[in-house]
Structure 1
Amino acid sequence: MKDVYLFSGFLGSGKTTLLKNIIQQAKEAGLKPAVFMNELGQMNFDSDAVEDGVPLKELLDGCICCTGSEKSEAQIQTLLAEEEFDLLLIETTGAAHPVEALDAIFSPLFAERLNFKGIITVADGKRWLDRGQLSPQIRSLFIEQIRHADLILANKMDLLSEAEQGKVTFELQGLNSSASILQTTHSKVPFSMLEKLTASKKGAVESAPVSKLNLNTRVFPFAKPVKREDFEAWLRALPETVYRIKGYVPLEGDKYPHAFQYAYGMAQWLPEYMKMNTQIVVIGEGIEGVELP
């Protein structure tokens, strides 16, 4: 039996950071993890976070919970047939309903070989406090991801005051009293806490299919390097309905592009030391008019 953990949470909440943390801790414990990642767009920049030697399968340009369920089943079946591993870590897209994802994962073809341990939902504390600014459909999905979790990481607590931290924790506990809640920064949670999880029986599901969320993805390739200040000015002018940007940005004066992450108005730049495909993926609502500077 392979232990299975499903990582849920809205776009930019910190799921990939959690994935990296748990991969490292599992390996330190002498376990071999395998990873299944889902991404809305046609490219998955987050797969770069998975270390060499860790079996990885991906579902791109579709959702594990709806249109991509058959492909998901095939990918997991391939992992089980071709790879040796001890536990399976599944990172859903930020637009996935975790319970619907479970329906796609546990196929009768291999369900008896999987020991589902639980849903870990990463909730961005600041986004939770500002959830009233989200569209009704997105807000409903955000709440569903929390409501069906077995463990909730109230993440990015370092960005909030003590009073705000308390408010977030109290409100999340009120929404899901059966889940444990851990305040985290950079999605840091002991792997031993995950190992103790036992999946609870899931209640009624408020369906939130991706097709009804009005979420779009757009890929922007770079024809030439850009000035960092110009790019950051472009970021500040983006509509609030741009929830996530990731990719590789070529900057003037630098030999290699920078890995770039953007969520909830906050940008993160990381230097790269090799040539990467210079483009970014933008995810959000009503982004048809968004263009690179």
Structure 2
Amino acid sequence: RKRIRAAQGIPLPGSAEWLVPPGGLEEDLPALDIGRDWFDVLAAAVTLCGGETPDLFRRETRPATEERRDERGQWRGVATPGVNDVSEWLGWGGMVPPAEGNAVLELRSAALRPEALPPEAASAPCWRVHSTAQEDAAPTFDADTRPSLFVLCGFLGSGKTTLLNAIIERQRARERCVGVIQNEIGATGVDERLVGDAAPVLAMDEGCVCCTISGNLRAGVRELMARANPEVLILETTGLANPMNLRIELEGLRELARLAAVVTVLDSLHGEALLAESELGREQVRGADVVVLSKCNLASPGQRLGLQAAAKALNPAARLCESGAEALPPELLPLFDAAGASQGPLRRMPGAHVSHADEGFSAVRLFLPRPVPRADLLLLARTCPGSPFRVKGILNTLEDGPILLQGVGDECTVEPFAGAAGEAAGEAPAFIVCIGRELDRQALLAHWANAGAVEEPPAAG
């Protein structure tokens, strides 16, 4: 240990108490243990690169002094029983270290057996990495080539795809390939078109990955890995997916990918109402390793604090972070940037877990074969019968050409749509998807008939 003793002590300013009593230790640092951690990593790297374990271990000891500060504030070294400098040598390829003191222990080649080493030295990883001499040698530093798998959950319109695009942009800047599996409850997907060519995307539409198309995820991961060999995989679930129902699916992916984390996005504007009304929304929070409160720049301080408290009450163990104008919270950077260790399968929770069908959620898709005035589209989206929770689509306007329309509750926005990768703007059939509880398909069809909506896509050509 590195020790500094204050002979006169160190008083606590403005108090009769002592910060360090006279003759007490001002510093007592476990220098050997701290240095050993660094030394073990360096030695393991040499073994890993050289492909062989050390053939020399040598430990030397020398008397050392304890530093003391006298009453004049001057330093002096005082020989103290039990205080020593300890040096350790490891050698590869027959190297011979210089003698600097009294060798307490020196082992070479055949005599260099783990049981002959001091316990703290025998446990170092340099003795096991790339060791083929023993069949039971532990592969401590074996490379795990499986991609990290992140599951991105969150209720309808919470901002999952916005966060996804920010993650992809960050990883592309670091020259890391991200593969995306996007699942949407509607038969025609919108979200995969929003990623464009930023990352290889596999769309899994026609149902929810945790129930109606359960069993397809493994095949999807295999396809995406064969196509792009990504370092990071992100499964963006439908807004109605319950991560608690994904446990069996994810456990079946162990040989293909390692589960890094389940990230749930929670809308700060509507989150409190969602958690109060929907067991599905609550399950999305309970099943998360990380909960991201989105749109915090638009929420009031009361909304943010209330949602934080509600999320913590449901899942005290989850990491909580906020996003606003910047979609990717700084706290998430280490999680996605590092090839972190697997979190393992989703935590087991007793009892049955709710699905979107249990709460009456469904999706209705309609096609709009002709361009419509932009103002008419906005009015139709905001006045849908049955008050769908989510309205989204890619539509053609008379004024602006193709647009992306997205609505959550009473909010509705449009923006120009340039087309997905390999698809010219306006090339695919224009469509609208409404998602909500107990939706009346015929009522929605009659409502959107004012814009020429039909149930089947128009014939090509």
- Quickly say closer, same or farther: Cα 1:271–1:104, change in 2 above 3 A: same
Q: Structure 1 residue 239: deviation in Å?
A: 4.9
TM-aligned CA distance change 1:131 to 1:54, over 3 Å = closer
CA contact (8 A) 1:69 1:105 kept: no
Cα deviation, residue 102, structure 1: 3.6
Q: Secondary structure in 2 aligned to 1:247?
A: strand
C-alpha separation in 2, matches of 1:236 and 1:215: 19
* Coordinate RMSD, CA, aligned: 2.2
1:256-267 matches, cutoff 5 A:
256-267=401-412
Residues 189/64 of structure 1: CA separation in 2 closer, same or farther (3 Å cut): same
Q: Which has the higher contact order (CA 8 A, sep 6+)?
A: 1
Q: Between 60-69 and 221-230, report the one with greater CA deviation.
A: 221-230
How do 1:277-292 residues align onto structure 2 when only pairs under 5 Å count? 277-288=429-440, 289-290=443-444, 291-292=447-448
Aligned pair 1:231/2:373, yes or no?
no
C-alpha separation in 2, matches of 1:237 and 1:209: 27
Q: How much has 1:28 moved relative to structure 2?
A: 1.1
1:169 aligns with 2:314: no
1:120 aligns with 2:263: yes
Change (3 A) 1:229 1:50: closer
TM-score, normalising length: structure 1: 0.89
Partner residue of 1:145? 284
1:182 aligns with 2:321: yes
Q: How does 1:65-104 map to 2 (within 5 A)?
A: 65-104=210-249
Question: TM-score, normalising length from structure 2?
Answer: 0.58
- In structure 2, the CA distance between the partners of 1:228 and 1:53, relative to structure 1 (3 Å rule), is closer
Flag the 1:248–1:82 CA change in 2: closer, same or farther, 3 A.
Answer: closer
Once the two structures are TM-superposed, the CA of residue 268 in structure 1 deviates from its matched residue by 1.6
- 8 Å Cα contact 1:119-1:199 kept in structure 2: no
Q: Hey, what does 1:207 align to over in structure 2?
A: 353
Query: Is the counterpart of residue 18 in structure 1 residue 170 in structure 2?
Result: no
Return the alpha-carbon distance in structure 1 between the equivalents of residues 333 and 322 of structure 2: 16
Rounded Cα–Cα distance in structure 2 between residues aligned with 1:132 and 1:172: 8
Q: Which runs of 5+ in 2 are unaligned?
A: 1-145, 419-424, 451-461
Q: Secondary structure at the match of 1:261?
A: strand
Matching residue's letter, 2:246? A
Distance 1:80 1:106, change over 3 A: farther
Q: State the Cα distance separating 1:142 from its structure 2 match.
A: 0.1
Counterpart for residue 52 of structure 1: 197
Question: What letter matches 1:287 in structure 2?
Answer: L
**CA–CA separation in structure 2 for the residues paired with 1:203 and 1:125:** 27
Task: Output the CA distance in 1 between the equivalents of 2:214 and 2:152.
Answer: 17
Describe the superposition over 1:116-170 as per-residue Cα deviations: whole angstroms up to 9, x where unpaired. 1111000012222223784xxxx00000001111110111112221122111112
Measured against aligned partners, the alpha-carbon deviations of 1:77-127 in whole angstroms (never above 9, x if no partner) come to 2223343110101100111111322422332xx512312111100001222
Q: Distance in 2 between matches of 1:169 and 1:239?
A: 33
Q: Is the 8 A contact 1:41 1:281 kept in 2?
A: yes
2:362 to 216, 221, 233: 216
How many Å separate the matches in 1 of 2:227 and 2:369?
40
C-alpha distance in 2 between matches for 1:84 and 1:242: 38
CA distance in 2, matches of 1:215, 1:171: 23
Distance 1:81 1:224 in 2: 39
Aligned partner of residue 375 in structure 2, secondary structure? helix
CA gap of 1:117–1:222, structure 2 versus 1, over 3 A, is same
Q: Which has the larger radius of gyration?
A: 2
Contact 1:35 1:89 in 2 (8 A): yes
